[in-house]
Structure 1
Amino acid sequence: MEIKQNASAGTTESSDIMITIGKNSGQGILIELDSSVEKQFGRQIREKIQETLTNLSVTDAKVQAIDKGALDCTIQARTVAAVYRATGEENVDWQVLNTWNV
């Protein structure tokens, strides 16, 4: 999927994550993370975002994530929503999304 515009999903409330995604001008995937649990779970949060982008065939994007202790399923859902908003894609294949491991 190609990122066409900046888009975001989520909030900065407790137990949530705000994902903002935009173009990265052919630079691949760049994930910037600001998390209240960075030391304990920073690597896992980045991996979940990367895995979700890979499953959506996103190869070029700049992701800014502000995490407030979100669970993996929330990280995945917010990333998917931001990607679909940023690509302008309206036809979500929910069957494929349901087969992912969370």
Structure 2
Amino acid sequence: MSSRYPIRKDENLTPRTGLEIPAVILFCVTVALFLFVSAKTGTRSLGLFIVLMALVQHRQGRIPYGWEGQPPSGYLTGPLAMLVNVVVAAIGLAVFVWPEVAMGMFGPK
């Protein structure tokens, strides 16, 4: 049986962390909060999601970059990766603490 898009054996894909399923569940909870509770609660959940994903990236110690659907072109590592993670976590914390500001920036005009 042949596939329309064959999988190449030599692709160097990003290794799995074991946190893909919890991340998808948290994303679905965030969407449900936006839809069924309120935009403010959904925005707070989004801030929490951003902080948690920054912590996951920090635990991995490297941040892959490149084109979507392709193997990573490279990785940010060391102090630069730590700085990026701190900035992303600070943005997530700000979204969590001040959801009104985030809704004003990203919401409808």
Give the TM-score taking structure 2 as reference length: 0.29
* Structure 1 or 2: more strand by fraction: 1
Which protein has greater RCO, CA pairs closer than 8 Å, 6+ apart? 1
Structure label with greater radius of gyration:
2
